[in-house]
């Protein structure tokens, strides 16, 4: 009996799926970025990183803030939020509020962040949303992009795709790559705007022009599937490669499949398995399945049943249907040692990060 492992991409769609997949992932990532603002980098270098932190803000900074300079007031807010040794959310909010009351967009946005994402002592999502709107209405890109994400996901606000599209477009028109990518996702899926593949491609390209990695993947998918354009394997490979070289596991899997199948490139099992290894090592189930197939068949790597079993087990544990289908069939050909060794290797596996 000969076990036949099916061809790569023909039976192994990427888990990101159609354009909505990585679009939704990016929205979740963007919402997390709002929390990073809470603990992230100060926009004003008032403290020298090489020296011990001062117990109080610099006197010249406080003096400017007391005189009403909104930029200095925001820097004071940063100090009490994330620079100084003593974190004081209430004091931080006080300074952001002073800048916000003067109509300073950054102060409005950061006050909104504190109210929307703070602990119970400060939390007031309604008021936080109001300040986001004030900043966004002044053209402040971080607020516009954040509102787009909130209204798309329905996270702590009523879901409103039309409102999301409005704010993403405003930020996209100002050159914000994240918003360009998300606006493309709305056009691709017809959420809040008429479905329009040409508009989706236009905005994905604008984001890609700014080196936005997720846009590389989406353009690769579009040309691979022929969404709004003729299918073009060479163009798909170009975009997938850009994403793969940045460490994207899904794109690495796709590149591997092109070489495995010999589609758009000369068939090359060693090149295919090189990319499957990169993808699988990051925990991507499609890459794990195909690497298991490679080790079982001896394509691009020496035949090694225990290693094949390891990767099929890992892919199956993540819900890969093909892996689950083939695991019991592969087990029929394993010795007791090979089965035990494959199980041990699967237990010991820890995903690597290439970003």
CATH of the domain at 220: 1.25.40.10
Report the Cα 346 to chain-centroid distance in Å: 26
Residue 355's pLDDT is 52
Q: Is residue 50 part of a domain?
A: no
Q: Is residue 286 part of a domain?
A: yes
**Residues 104 and 164 placed together within one structural domain of the fold:** no
Q: Is residue 277 part of a domain?
A: yes
Q: How confident is the model at residue 203 (pLDDT cuts 50, 70, 90)?
A: very high
**Residues 230 and 258 placed together within one structural domain of the fold:** no
Q: Are 111 and 143 in contact (CB under 8 A)?
A: no
Residue 84's pLDDT is 64
User: 183 lies in which domain range?
Assistant: 160-238
Residue where a domain terminates, one of 97, 121, 136? 136
The Cα 71–Cα 64 span in angstroms is: 9
Q: Which carries the bigger pLDDT value, residue 46 or residue 170?
A: 170
**Residues 71 and 128 placed together within one structural domain of the fold:** yes
The Cα 91–Cα 38 span in angstroms is: 14
Average pLDDT over the chain reads 88
pLDDT at 49 over 50: no
Q: Are 143 and 108 in contact (CB under 8 A)?
A: yes
- For 111, 120, 176, 271, the CA distances from 268, given in Å and listed in that order, are 55, 58, 39, 5
pLDDT at 193 over 80: yes
Q: Is residue 181 part of a domain?
A: yes
Q: How confident is the model at residue 54 (pLDDT cuts 50, 70, 90)?
A: low
**Residues 35 and 130 placed together within one structural domain of the fold:** yes
**Residues 255 and 342 placed together within one structural domain of the fold:** yes
Q: How confident is the model at residue 57 (pLDDT cuts 50, 70, 90)?
A: confident
Which of 150, 127, 135 is CA-nearest to residue 35?
150
Q: Is residue 54 part of a domain?
A: no
Residue where a domain terminates, one of 238, 258, 290? 238
Which of 36, 51, 48 is CA-nearest to residue 146?
36
**Residues 63 and 126 placed together within one structural domain of the fold:** yes
Model's pTM, two decimal places? 0.82
Burial of 323 (0-12, 13-18, 19+ CB in 10 A): buried
Q: Are 170 and 139 in contact (CB under 8 A)?
A: yes
Find the mean pLDDT for residues 243-268.
97
Q: Is residue 155 part of a domain?
A: no
| Tally of domains within the chain | 3
Q: Is residue 2 part of a domain?
A: no
Reduced to 3 states (helix: H, G, I; strand: E, B; else coil), residue 157 is coil
Residue where a domain terminates, one of 136, 169, 192? 136
The Cα 34–Cα 288 span in angstroms is: 33
Residue 310's pLDDT is 98
What DSSP letter does each residue of 254-286 carry, written as one string? HHHHHHHHTSSS---HHHHHHHHHHHHHTT-HH
pLDDT at 91 over 90: yes
Q: Is residue 223 part of a domain?
A: yes
**Residues 171 and 232 placed together within one structural domain of the fold:** yes
């Amino acid at each position: 009996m000969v076990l036949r492992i099916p061809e790569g991409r023909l039976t192994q769609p990427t888990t990101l799926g159609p354009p909505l997949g990585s679009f939704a992932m990016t929205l979740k990532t963007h919402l997390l970025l709002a929390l990073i603002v809470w603990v992230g980098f100060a926009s004003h270098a008032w403290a020298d990183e090489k020296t011990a932190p001062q117990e109080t803000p610099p006197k010249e900074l406080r003096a400017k803030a007391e005189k009403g300079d909104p930029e200095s007031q925001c820097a004071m807010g940063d100090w009490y939020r994330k620079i100084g040794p003593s974190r004081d959310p209430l004091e931080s909010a006080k300074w952001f509020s002073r800048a916000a009351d003067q109509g300073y967009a950054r102060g409005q946005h950061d006050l909104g962040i504190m109210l929307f994402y703070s602990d119970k002592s400060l939390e007031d999502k309604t008021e936080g949303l109001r300040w986001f709107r004030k900043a966004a209405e002044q053209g402040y890109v971080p607020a516009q992009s954040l509102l787009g994400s909130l209204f798309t996901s329905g996270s702590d606000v009523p879901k409103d795709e039309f409102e999301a599209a409005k704010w993403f477009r405003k930020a996209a028109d100002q050159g914000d790559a994240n918003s360009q990518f998300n606006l493309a996702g709305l056009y691709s899926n017809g959420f809040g705007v008429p479905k329009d593949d040409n508009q989706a491609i236009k905005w994905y390209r604008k984001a890609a022009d700014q080196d936005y990695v997720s846009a590389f993947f989406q353009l690769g998918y579009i040309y691979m599937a022929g969404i709004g354009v003729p299918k073009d394997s060479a163009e798909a490979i170009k975009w997938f490669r850009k994403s793969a070289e940045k460490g994207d596991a899904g794109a690495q899997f796709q590149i591997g499949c092109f070489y495995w199948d010999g589609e758009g490139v000369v068939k090359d099992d060693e090149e295919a398995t090189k990319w499957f290894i990169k993808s699988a090592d990051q925990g991507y189930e499609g890459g794990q399945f195909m690497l298991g197939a490679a080790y079982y068949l001896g394509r691009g790597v020496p035949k090694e049943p225990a290693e094949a079993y390891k990767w099929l087990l890992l892919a199956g544990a993540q819900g890969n249907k093909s892996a689950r289908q083939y695991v019991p069939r592969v087990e029929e050909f394993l010795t007791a040692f090979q089965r035990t060794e494959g199980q041990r290797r699967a237990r010991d596996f820890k995903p690597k990060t290439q970003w």
